Structure 1
C-alpha cells in the first residue's frame, strides 16, 4: 500500500514516537515483501505444473504417432519397442496428472488461501493510517484552543475539542497496538504454514503422496491464520 500524506495541521505534541512508527513501517514492509513473494511462488508453481503436464501429454502423442507409423507393419521388433514406449509414456502421464492434482491441493491452493489474507491486512493498515490522521487533526485543533486566551467561549470550544479527540485517540491506539502485535506473529507463522506444503511437494515428486491426502498440520493452521 502506498502512503498518501494528508494535508492537515500537524500537532506540536508528538502523538506517536519515531520508534513506534519505525517499528510499524519495518513490520509492514516485511509483510509487503512476503505478499509479493507468495504471489510469485503461486504463479510459478502453476506454470510448473502446466509445463509438466504439457510435457507428458506431448510424450504420449509422440509415442502414439510412432506406434501408428507404417513401419510398425513391417517390423515386429519395432512394434514391440513402440508398444513398450507408449505404455511407459501413458504411465508417466498418469503419474504426472496424479502428482499435479496433489500439488494443486497441498501447495497451490494453500498459497492462494495465504495470499487471500493480505487484502484484509492492507485494509487494516489503511484504517490505522486514517485513524492516525484524524488523531493528528483533532490534536492540532485542541492545541490551537489551548494557546488562545482562556475566555468563556474558548474554554467551551476547548472542552468540545478534547471530547471529540478522546474517542479518536483511543481508536487509533487500539488499531495501532493490534497491528503491532499481530504483524510480527503473522510474519513468523509463515514457516509453520508453508513447511507442510513443501514437504507434500517433495512427497509428490517422489510418488509417495497418496491422492487426496492432506498433511494434518494444514487443518489446524488454516484456522490459526484466519483463512477458513
Structure 2
C-alpha cells in the first residue's frame, strides 16, 4: 500500500484489474490485483451516484452496494489521478463517471477509485522482464508438481504396505481357524494338509513383514525427508514475492515524484525515494537470481535421490515373491494331490452338495 507523504503527494491509484464479488451471505466487494478488497458500504439513498462519488473524495468513501450498479464485473486498467469531473460524472451521460458506469453495466476505474478507501501503487514500467517471469513460473510450477507427486507417492506406498500386512495377517488367521476346527481332529490326512498350510502362511507373513520393513527404510523414509524440503522452498518463493511487491511499491513512488514539477522539495523527495528503492531492488534481484539458479538444480536432483530408493523397492519385491514361490512350491509338494481344474472342482462340489440335499433334515417341505 503506497504511503502518503503529505497532502500534495496524494495519488489515489486505480487497480490493474477488478472483479465484482457478491457472494451470498458476504459483503459485496472487489477482487483486484490478487487481493479481495471489500468496499466500505454506507448507502446514501438521498444522494445520486455522482454525490456518492464526491462523498469519497478526501475522506472515507460513501458508496451504495456494488450489486445496485447492475454490473457483475468490470475490467479496466491504468493508474492515474482522479479528476473531480470523472468522479462527479456528467449529467448528460458523457464522461466516465458513476452515472454512466451504472447505466452501462460497468464501473469505471476512476469511479472505483472513489470506492476504495486506500492507495494502490503500481509502477508504469515493467520492472521484471516477461521472459524472466515466465522462466520463474515455469521452474516453480515444475517444483509444485514434483511436491504434489511426491506426496501422492508417499500416500500410495503407505496404502500398499498396509494392504500387504493386512493380507498376510488375514491368511494366518484363516489357517489358525482351520487348525482349531473340529473337522481336523477327525481326519488325520486333512489335519496334515491344514498344518502345512498354516506353516506356509506364517512363513509368508514373516517374509512380508521383512519386506515392509525394508520398504519403510529405503523408500518411505526418503520420501518423507524429501517432502520436508518443500516448505522451505515455498517460503523462499514467498519472500521473493514480498520483496517484489515492495520493489513495485517503491518504484511507483519514484515514478510519481519524477512526474512532478522539478521543485526543491519534490527533488528532495525523489532523491529519498530512490535511496529507499536501491536496497529493495538489490534484495529482490538477489532473491530472484538465487531461485532461478537453484530451482532447476533442485528439480534435476530428484533422479539421483530417488533412484536408489526405487531400486531397493524392486529388490524387496523380487526377494519376497521368490520366497513365496519356494514356500508355495513346498506346500504343493506336501499336499500331494494333483490340482483340479475349475470345472472339475465345481462338478465335485455340486455332487457333494447334492448328497447333502438328499438328507431328510434338509429336504424342502
The TM-score, its normalising length taken from structure 2, stands at: 0.55
Q: Does 1:160 align with 2:272?
A: yes
The farther-off stretch of 52-61 and 144-153 is: 144-153
- Superimposed CA distance per residue, residues 30-69 of structure 1 (whole angstroms, 9 cap, x where no aligned partner): 1111111110000000000000000000000000111111
1:49-198 matches, cutoff 5 A: 49-198=161-310
Q: Runs of 5+ in structure 2 lacking a partner?
A: 1-32, 36-118, 321-365
- Cα offset for 1:8? 3.4
Residue of structure 1 in register with 2:133 after alignment:
21
Residue of structure 2 in register with 1:222 after alignment:
none
The TM-score, its normalising length taken from structure 1, stands at: 0.87
- Superimposed CA distance per residue, residues 137-171 of structure 1 (whole angstroms, 9 cap, x where no aligned partner): 10110111111121111111111101100110011
- Cα offset for 1:204? 0.8
Question: Whose helix proportion is higher, 1 or 2?
Answer: 1
Alignment match of 1:5 (pick from 18, 34, 39): 34
Runs (4+) off by over 4 Å = none
Distance 1:170 1:132 in 2: 11
- Superimposed CA distance per residue, residues 11-47 of structure 1 (whole angstroms, 9 cap, x where no aligned partner): 1222100000011001111111111111000000000
- Superimposed CA distance per residue, residues 96-124 of structure 1 (whole angstroms, 9 cap, x where no aligned partner): 11100110111111111111111111111
Q: Does 1:30 align with 2:142?
A: yes
The farther-off stretch of 185-194 and 6-15 is: 6-15
The farther-off stretch of 142-151 and 193-202 is: 142-151
Distance 2:292 2:121 in 1: 26
Count residues with an aligned counterpart.
Answer: 205
The farther-off stretch of 89-98 and 11-20 is: 11-20
Q: Which has the larger radius of gyration?
A: 2
How large is the RMSD of aligned CA atoms in angstroms?
1.3
- Cα offset for 1:206? 1.8
Alignment match of 1:48 (pick from 144, 160, 168): 160
Q: Runs of 5+ in structure 1 lacking a partner?
A: 209-228
Q: Higher RCO, 1 or 2 (CA under 8 Å, sep at least 6)?
A: 1
